[in-house]
Copies of this chain bind each other. A is one copy, B any other.
């Protein structure tokens, strides 16, 4: 038997003993879909410098080509989020067809309301009604695009806020936010969702109109069942227990999706799972716990979470960085699937602090490499997607695009 086969056999033996059924684990891993963002393949950076890389895609079509590579190598990234107007094209059916030929599809539509000069003091919450109108029209345009391309989800992040006390009327802006979102909500088809993001700070440095989960949640509650909250893992105050928020929103049936990335300080937008990987595992622990809830609504919410990556590679090669993120998501999800929930609940009921902690932690400590190798073989993708990419000539091929591709 090869090393890998022996390793898998041993892994299986161990998990059986732990009461984990690998067939179920694999089925769930095969069902995992992680959407990558078109803008994650372009140049980006910090306010100090955007380092331009050779090979960066020059338009939406090339972004989809890069994204398709990630899907081809991992098998779990079949859709690509788009950002309007960055990915605006004359004919979306051409982009759809291009995507289809590449084996992927268009995912969430992301309006952009922070890069036009008129939005210097806000978009949908600007005190100037004409600017609010323009911003709301853009939201409606994005709904139309989503209908055109068959996207279910609209991901909404607003940079709106202020830099100084007194600068704006906080409560009026709250009303204007609701006004714009309400108009957008009414434009949705019944199967569509609005995923409302929040952010602790940046680019607004005093107040942000949607500053935390509570503000997004409250908006979503006022709007209705098609509005849910989107959690970006980098958008919280230091120390915030993100998995608690995840559990809370699941319980309220209001968690719609994630923008995954990692950070050590602020919204660093680094490779998912690179900093404090345990947090990512604990997020999946809460999701899997909710996915087995007695309440069908909670279970359905957990099942319909949109897992999306949103990161910004300032110094990394774009495609490998995206691969690493996707693989890290898969790894932590796999580990969370190895939690013996009966054991956890039993220890919780006995109020045995150490046993409960250990029951969760034990799964995290498993090396899931044998499992993932077996899984990838079954899925018909390379055993080591990163290595396969680096050995392919895709990376060298795109160098012909030159420098100066898409960026934000």
| A contact set with B: CB distance below 8 Å | 3, 6-7, 10, 13-14, 44-49, 51-52, 114-115, 117, 119-121, 127-128, 159, 163-171, 174-175, 200-203, 205-207, 211-215, 217-218, 236-241, 243-244, 247-248, 250-252, 263-266, 268, 270-271, 274-279, 282, 285-286, 289-290, 293, 298, 312, 314-317, 320-321, 324, 331, 344-345, 347-349, 351, 353-354, 356-361, 365-367, 369, 386, 408
Contacts and interface: CB of A to CB of B under 8 A. Distances in A.
A359 B167 CA distance: 9
Q: How many copies does the complex hold?
A: 4
B171 A247 contact: yes
A282 B165 contact: yes
A163 B48 contact: no
Contact of A356 (B167, B275, B349): B167
25 contacts: A7-B14, A47-B47, A48-B115, A121-B353, A163-B314, A165-B274, A165-B285, A165-B360, A166-B285, A171-B290, A174-B251, A175-B251, A202-B266, A203-B314, A205-B268, A206-B264, A213-B214, A214-B214, A214-B215, A214-B217, A236-B237, A241-B264, A316-B353, A321-B354, A365-B367
Which of A200, A265, A289, A344 has the most C-beta atoms of chain B within 10 angstroms of its own C-beta? Answer: A265
Contacts of A248: 170-171, 174, 215
Given A213-B214, A218-B252, A251-B174, A167 B47 contact: no
Contacts of A369: 365
Nearest to A408: B48
Contacts of A171: 247-248, 250-251, 289-290, 293, 298
A308 to B, nearest CB: 19
Contact of A367 (B44, B317, B367): B367
Nearest to A159: B48
